[in-house]
């Protein structure tokens, strides 16, 4: 039999490259403001309150996930998703607002800087949640299922290599002498914002296919019925409960940096080492657990990662 010729969607190469560039540079940006090491270390410079330090790491997750159900309900039936995806990109400018505020000396007023940071992080997380919903919708319609693994895998490899360099640079920035307090964190936020620029350009270059009749989304009332049916499914409910319990570990991660600095007396540059370690861990786990998933299924992967 002749080999089957794969038919790719229009503008496939353009979208493939745009999604990869966005994925990579967004990952680089988060490396410069690592949520489990750099952000808690920064907040510790503004307050000694353990609840606030703990909140700093989970703030993004809450601001990212909670509004998504509202966004999906309001925008799920829109025929075009790209305009709403781009609507969330101005929220990334808040990273430069942080940098400008620190360079302007707001760090000398910890309460004011902390208030600005918390409000800005909520805005940044919510806007990125909007982007993410539309991102996956467009990706599902422009990248064939058999090509998505290749796209995500390539993006993860590039992000991993870049992440090692980012971690090294973070260590150098945090260990350098500065005349102005918190100048190192101002530079990190600036670099995070700068990394968002090519990511945003890539999002703007994504081509969205025109809506088709078979792609129409169910009306809001029907989607509400689907949600109620899902909540009556024991497997779905237990999955949500499991996710909530496992994510409880995030309450501890903001305090690793403080423990390393206060009790182990390790230098600030070690925070860059934390970023490198997390990057290497993600690379290794992607390779190992990817193979486990193909052989034994996603449930086994969930059990392994939960135990770890």
Predicted confidence at residue 261, as pLDDT, reads 74
Predicted confidence at residue 281, as pLDDT, reads 83
Predicted confidence at residue 94, as pLDDT, reads 95
Burial class (CB in 10 A: 0-12, 13-18, 19+), 192: buried
Closest to 131 measured CA to CA, from 141, 142, 139 = 139
Token readout for 94 is: 């808040």
Question: What is the spatial distance between Cα 14 and Cα 22, in angstroms, rounded to a whole number?
Answer: 12
Question: What is the spatial distance between Cα 27 and Cα 159, in angstroms, rounded to a whole number?
Answer: 6
Predicted confidence at residue 57, as pLDDT, reads 73
Predicted confidence at residue 193, as pLDDT, reads 96
Question: What is the spatial distance between Cα 144 and Cα 179, in angstroms, rounded to a whole number?
Answer: 52
What pLDDT tens digit does each residue of the chain (308 aa) get? 455 556 777 788 899 999 999 999 999 999 999 888 889 889 988 988 888 887 877 777 777 777 777 777 777 677 788 888 899 999 999 999 999 999 999 999 999 999 999 999 999 999 998 898 899 889 888 888 777 777 887 888 888 889 889 988 998 898 888 777 789 999 999 999 999 999 999 999 999 888 765 555 555 555 556 667 767 888 888 887 887 788 777 777 777 877 777 788 777 777 878 888 888 887 787 778 777 776 787 788 888 888 88
Predicted confidence at residue 192, as pLDDT, reads 96
Residues 72, 273 contacting (CB under 8 angstroms): no
Predicted confidence at residue 14, as pLDDT, reads 92
Concatenated DSSP letters of the chain: -PPPPPPPPTTHHHHHHHHHHHHHHHHHHHHHT-TTTHHHHHHHTT---HHHHHHHHHHHHHHHHTTHHHHHHHHTT-S--HHHHHHTGGGGGHHHHHHHHHHTTGGGSHHHHHHHHHHHHHHHHHHHHHHHHHHHHHHHHHS-HHHHHHHHHHHHHHHHHHHHHHHHHHHHHHHS--SSTTHHHHHHHHHHHHHHHHHHHHHHHPPPPPP-GGGPPPPHHHHHHHHHHHHT-HHHHHHHHHHHHHGGGGGTTHHHHHHHHHTS---TTHHHHHHHHHHHHHHHHHHHHHHHHHHH-HHHHHHHHHH-
What angle (nearest 5°) sits at the alpha carbon of residue 69, between those of residues 197 and 15?
Answer: 40
Residues 272, 280 contacting (CB under 8 angstroms): no
Predicted confidence at residue 217, as pLDDT, reads 52
Predicted confidence at residue 116, as pLDDT, reads 95
């Amino acid at each position: 039999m002749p080999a089957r010729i794969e038919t790719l969607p229009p503008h496939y190469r353009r979208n493939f490259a745009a999604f990869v560039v966005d994925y990579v540079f967004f990952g680089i940006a988060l490396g410069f403001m690592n949520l489990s090491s750099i952000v808690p270390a920064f907040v510790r410079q503004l307050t000694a309150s353990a609840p606030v330090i703990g909140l700093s790491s989970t703030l993004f997750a809450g601001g990212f996930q909670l509004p998504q159900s509202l966004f999906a309900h309001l925008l799920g039936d829109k025929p075009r998703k790209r305009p709403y995806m781009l609507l969330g990109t101005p929220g990334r400018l808040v990273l430069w607002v942080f940098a400008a505020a620190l360079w302007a000396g707001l760090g000398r007023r910890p309460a004011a800087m902390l208030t600005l940071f918390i409000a800005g992080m909520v805005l940044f997380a919510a806007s990125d949640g909007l982007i993410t919903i539309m991102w996956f919708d467009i990706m599902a319609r422009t990248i064939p299922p058999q090509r998505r693994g290749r796209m995500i895998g390539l993006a993860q490899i590039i992000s991993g290599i870049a992440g090692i360099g980012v971690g090294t640079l973070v260590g150098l920035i945090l260990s350098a002498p500065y005349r102005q307090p918190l100048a190192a964190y101002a530079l990190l936020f600036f670099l995070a914002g700068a990394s968002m620029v090519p990511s945003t350009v890539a999002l703007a270059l994504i081509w969205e296919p025109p809506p088709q009749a078979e792609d129409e989304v169910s009306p809001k009332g029907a989607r509400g019925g689907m949600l109620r049916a899902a909540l009556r499914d024991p497997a779905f409910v237990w999955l949500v409960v499991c996710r909530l319990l496992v994510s409880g570990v995030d309450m501890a991660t903001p305090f690793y940096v403080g423990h390393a600095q206060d009790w182990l007396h390790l230098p600030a540059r070690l925070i860059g080492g934390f970023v490198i370690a997390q990057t290497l861990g993600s690379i290794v786990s992607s390779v190992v657990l990817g193979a486990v998933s193909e052989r034994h299924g996603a449930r086994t992967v969930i059990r392994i990662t939960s135990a770890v």
